[in-house]
Structure 1
Amino acid sequence: MLPFWVTGAAAGIVSLHLIQKLLFPYFWHDLKYLLKVVKYGLTLEIYRLRGKIFTVLDRFMKQAERQPNKPFILYDGDVHTYQDVDRRSNRVAQVFLQQGALKKGDTVALLMSNEPDFIHVWFGVAKLGCVVAFLNFNIRSTSLLHCISSCESKILIVGEDMLGTLEEILPSLQKDIGVWVMTRDCTLPRVNTLLDKLEAASEDCVPVNLRSANNLKSSVLYIFTSGTTGLPKAAVITHLQILKGAAGLWAFGATADDTVYITLPLYHSAASLLGIGGCIELGATCVLRKKFSSSQFWSDCKKYNVTVIQYIGELCRYLCNQPVVSGIKIMVILAFGYSIGNGVRSDVWREFLGRFGAIKMCEFYGLFSPFDLIKYDFKKDEPIRNRHGWCEKVKKGEAGLLISKVNAKNPFFGYAGSKKHTEKKLLCEVFKKGDIYFNTGDLMVQDQENFLYFWDRIGDTYRWKGENVATTEVSDVIGMLDFIQEANVYGVPVPDHEGKAGMVSVILKPNKSLDLEQMYEQVVTYLPGYACPLFLRLQVIYIYCAIHLNIHMQYGGLKGKYLMSYLPSAFMI
């Protein structure tokens, strides 16, 4: 017979286990993840104490040395090994070094779609110690010119399929910005070709001192975010932020044996930092696709033996809407998503797992620091403060503004060339005198199990097609039309769709008529596709009477690529 203390201890252990399962059901999962984060942080600290600055680029070059023949990028049937990418990026660096076009610290604006040369150019100019600005290839005209100039670009490198966009802005582009295109020849004025020079360039490494970083907090990338009050802003990305992003796949449990499928645009941090950076950290293989295709998604996964996929909520919904295809056996075991307003709805989550098997879903927001949710006044569009002037935290289940404390361990690096926009993202005197918090601009809800859910964006923005749309930018473009007196843009929910679709409410100038064809040309010329409003509300002001008209028209036939529908109009006196 067992001693009393043994049975008592066993009962105590069982009781503790039951209590843990009941009150802290995710304890062991959280502890495992926390230990990984601590381990990674200690590794970085050891490098720092040794006086070494080890960046993701350094990590890539180590991988190329350790496993030169391992496939790094699979693209459109071609295989690019770690050594291939290293050598071609060396050619890029050598071209600009020999041309004397760049020096350490210069900014290079990159306008390219998803293709291996995006990565070759990115790594090549990074080897010269340059800061790379990823340009959203959807934006046009004034917005694109603003992005190029706002980060003080020394040169602009343009992909072959972006030549049409370049031709539009070239006459207005600053003359002191060098322009290079990924072609062998070009008839555009003041444009340099790059492909012909790459073929003749050396594959030798450039001097290591050119790329060496003095501080992990020094700028290395600019990634643009939609401006809540107008044009896009260049968020400063440091070596430290890239390292943190690159550790995500490893923290989720991916290994060097995995093959990662990336269909999201590389100009966003999700694909570039988490996807490409994550593969580099692991030494894994990446399948890169020019753009997402819901009909080819699982076929590609089977073709390339994909084990890890990257997603946003909209992508998962598209896949769920595809008809069931039999005979395709997939090996995907992990899916990871960057959930800044792009998470998967709970109903889509359940359907996705029901349709495509027991895939481990890892979704995170992007904050690696403590946070709070505070009360927010939706009408005044500002945080609520009590009679003492302090902000207050919301209760669980209530929507609140997500904020994160700014300090030495959690710095905010702001936006390039815009002190005003940087300061606008900070909240001061939040809970006590002297404290400073970063305002994410996102409303979140925390449930009883401490899971966080995206609720909405604050300010003059809404999300559509996985992108932020700045309402002021859209209204400014439409307001340029000579028959528009006033344009107001906002997002409206659409059944079975993520985010909100654009609605523009317009008032015509006196004695002017609505020109739909001209409005169409205006929005598709000056706005990215995801920012073009899908709905139009016409408002007419009369002095002594109000007329309510119901107009039901479809504006989808014009050029066959844009839908604008008239909704029942609300008219005002």
Structure 2
Amino acid sequence: MIAAVLGGVLAGLLALRVYQRLAHPFLWADVVYYCKLRSYGKTLRARMQRGIVSYLDCFLHQAKENPHKPFVVFENQTLTYRDAERRSNRFANAFGSEGFAKRGDVVALLMFNEPDFICAWLGLCKAGCQVAFLNAGAKAPSLRACLRSCGARTLVVGADLAGLVNEAWPDLKEDNVAVWVMDHTSPSEEFNSLLDKVEKMPGECLSDLPKVDIMSNFVFIFTSGTTGLSKAARVGHMKAIVSMSFLHMCGGRSDDVIYITLPLYHMSASLLGIGGCIHLGATCVLRRKFSASQFWKDCVKHNVTVVQYIGELCRYLLNHPPVPEEKTHRVRLAAGSGLRSDVWREFVQRFGRIKIREGYGLTEASIGFLNYTDEVGPIGRASYFNKLSMPFELLRYDPQTYEPVRTPSGRCTRAPTGEAGILVAPLTAMNQFLGYAGNKVQSEKKLLRGVFKAGDVYFNTGDLLMHDHRDFLYFRDRVGDTFRWKGENVSTTEVSEVFGPLDFIQEANVYGVSIPGCEGRAGMAAVVLRPDHEFDGPTLYKHLLKTLPAYAWPWFLRVQTSLDVTETFKQQKGKLVQEGFDPEPSTRQPPGVTWLESLAL
């Protein structure tokens, strides 16, 4: 009798297991990840009870616990956690003694990647200042606008960028901006040198570090400006400390050596990358700029185990000729965002058994996802457990105005499974939006009110995501990138991926252009050919026939030698959309534009 009961129970459990594998194959992965999030939440609360409530506090904790462990490796220089702690103290003491940084001030930092970027940043935090990270690729005319928007009247600039500031000096001088150059001497009488003051300062910590309101602003990070002028996003202390868990959630460990080539003035490198190293107590190998030719050589030289990527960085590595080091490295994990499916598969095939952890996040808010499975393509999961920890919705939208569709009662509607929708998330204590500095109009545009009921407020990411029947989330496009043609919505990201298998095309940037007398926008693609390859129109035509419906084809091609991208490898579309095309053979066409006459409109 007992044997029969046990047999029945085992059979039932087996049937339940089979059902789970068939109907909910990722259930246990979802549960494990949810438990990991809960565990991190408990750790975070325990740290806060011990007074570790900010990014700076986390660094000070690691400097105390692991003083002799290498923190930053840069070129031929290595700083331990204690070294970085003492040097940041010297910066803090110099800022205070020179009187150019007072508590509450906003100080702008304009530098390429180097250890003193981190030490100066931490020193300013110790002095009670808010730091504004300026884009090192900015042009002189925009510097004044950036400084004005965030309210900075002091600028710390790297020695190699002093020339840029000198070009903008007439405007900055009118605003009484004080410039401090990260060098022992100043290239101009109008500027102040900083390093000669820093190295005379004691390395002891300030006696009265400022207390932090975790709900207040921490840093200003400028958006990449793919569609216009950069905006200064306010990033709060809560957002910063949560961001530090990214590498840990991806599977990073304290014994990892993490390679960061992304610019520190963007969130990915500063909060997720350096912050992730601090959270783990790991070592960071920092490079001034990304180099495809040196990438794997650096990984072998420094025994790198984790690399951080964003955008098209992985595609650049694939386009580079093979090097011996790409087979002898010890990299086990690549964490980041923006990796397209075609590149993902080829990257893993060529560079070895590297676990990819693709995520999604924003500078302005804390909504984010992580694909913790080995499924190629998704940016995360939309399971029941994940929505418990990070509530969000995908809303139907009008493809002409890109505004959410509202019912007669004024409420928004959810996008059905399999259809792209605008990602929105309710504003909460954990999902703050502090707005853009000096830009109330743009700040208000990011908020949706009365979404599902009177009084609710949601943050509008402006990104289009798709939730499939297996609860995976896929990034489709940014609002404005998706276009409508022949009554159908076309995702530029999806069309770009179709170009991936073509051996004569190296890169493709897809966008929509207006055609006089036609509704909507037709597809157009700017492409870069691979070296020693010619454009093959018949092959492209056959490939499009097999892979895309006719309405999604790019009807116009523009062959270029390179594509414009931001410092984080996001493709620039605005200028291309404005230049459009000219189908009249009797008139002058923009350089490099080819009209596919075989694909007659």
The SS at the match of 1:137 is coil
The SS at the match of 2:463 is strand
In structure 2, the residue matched to 1:180 is 180
For 1:485-496, list aligned pairs within 5 A.
493-495=525-527
Q: C-alpha distance in 2, partners of 1:33/1:105?
A: 38
**Identity between Structure 1 and Structure 2 (%):** 46
In structure 2, the residue matched to 1:565 is 592
In structure 2, the residue matched to 1:32 is 32
In structure 2, the residue matched to 1:422 is 443
In structure 2, the residue matched to 1:360 is 355
Number of positions where the alignment pairs a residue of Structure 1 with one of Structure 2: 501
Change (3 A) 1:401 1:90: same
The code of the aligned residue for 1:445 comes to: M
Deviations 1:408-428 (A, max 9, x none): 443321112222221110011
- For the pair 1:376 / 2:375, whether they are aligned, the reply is no
For 1:510-549, list aligned pairs within 5 A.
533=575, 537=579, 548-549=585-586
The code of the aligned residue for 2:199 comes to: E
Q: C-alpha distance in 2, partners of 1:411/1:5?
A: 54
The SS at the match of 2:312 is helix
For 1:331-346, list aligned pairs within 5 A.
331-337=330-336, 339=337, 343-346=338-341
In structure 2, the residue matched to 1:519 is none
Change (3 A) 1:249 1:96: same
In structure 1, the residue matched to 2:501 is none
In structure 2, the residue matched to 1:561 is none
Q: How much has 1:490 moved relative to structure 2?
A: 12
Task: Name which of 344, 352, 366 aligns with 1:349.
Answer: 344
In structure 1, the residue matched to 2:90 is 91
Q: C-alpha distance in 1, partners of 2:422/2:4?
A: 54
Q: C-alpha distance in 2, partners of 1:170/1:46?
A: 48
The code of the aligned residue for 1:359 comes to: I
In structure 2, the residue matched to 1:170 is 169
Q: How much has 1:569 moved relative to structure 2?
A: 13
In structure 1, the residue matched to 2:132 is 133
For 1:443-454, list aligned pairs within 5 A.
443-454=464-475
Deviations 1:40-83 (A, max 9, x none): 222333455x4835212112112112222211111112211111
In structure 1, the residue matched to 2:278 is 280
Unaligned 5+ segments in structure 1 are: 472-488, 506-522, 541-545, 554-563
The code of the aligned residue for 1:348 comes to: V
Report if the CA contact (8 A) 2:110-2:157 is conserved: yes
Q: How much has 1:535 moved relative to structure 2?
A: 8.7
Report if the CA contact (8 A) 1:184-1:193 is conserved: yes
The code of the aligned residue for 2:526 comes to: V
The code of the aligned residue for 2:343 comes to: V
The code of the aligned residue for 2:592 comes to: S
Q: How much has 1:197 moved relative to structure 2?
A: 1.1
Change (3 A) 1:319 1:401: same
TM-score (norm: length of structure 1): 0.81
Q: C-alpha distance in 1, partners of 2:87/2:51?
A: 26
In structure 1, the residue matched to 2:197 is 197
Change (3 A) 1:140 1:58: same
Q: C-alpha distance in 2, partners of 1:248/1:132?
A: 22
Change (3 A) 1:548 1:336: same
Change (3 A) 1:6 1:282: same
For 1:18-29, list aligned pairs within 5 A.
18-29=18-29
Q: C-alpha distance in 2, partners of 1:192/1:538?
A: 46
Q: How much has 1:552 moved relative to structure 2?
A: 6.3
The code of the aligned residue for 2:232 comes to: A
The code of the aligned residue for 1:357 comes to: G
- For the pair 1:386 / 2:423, whether they are aligned, the reply is no
Unaligned 5+ segments in structure 2 are: 362-366, 369-389, 483-491, 497-508, 512-520, 530-553, 559-563
Q: How much has 1:404 moved relative to structure 2?
A: 0.6
Q: C-alpha distance in 1, partners of 2:227/2:341?
A: 31
TM-score (norm: length of structure 2): 0.77
Q: How much has 1:14 moved relative to structure 2?
A: 1.4
Deviations 1:81-120 (A, max 9, x none): 1111111111111111111111111111000011111101
What value does the CA root-mean-square deviation take over the aligned residues? Answer: 3.2
The SS at the match of 1:136 is coil
Change (3 A) 1:201 1:225: same
Change (3 A) 1:412 1:75: same
Q: C-alpha distance in 2, partners of 1:490/1:419?
A: 34
Report if the CA contact (8 A) 1:390-1:429 is conserved: yes
Q: How much has 1:567 moved relative to structure 2?
A: 5.5
Q: How much has 1:387 moved relative to structure 2?
A: 2.5
Q: C-alpha distance in 1, partners of 2:99/2:14?
A: 71
Q: How much has 1:300 moved relative to structure 2?
A: 0.9
Q: C-alpha distance in 2, partners of 1:151/1:17?
A: 56
The code of the aligned residue for 1:161 comes to: D
Change (3 A) 1:228 1:381: farther
The SS at the match of 2:461 is strand
Change (3 A) 1:492 1:134: farther
For 1:62-81, list aligned pairs within 5 A.
62-81=61-80
In structure 2, the residue matched to 1:518 is none
Change (3 A) 1:53 1:62: closer
In structure 2, the residue matched to 1:4 is 4
Q: C-alpha distance in 2, partners of 1:496/1:256?
A: 41
Q: C-alpha distance in 2, partners of 1:55/1:202?
A: 24
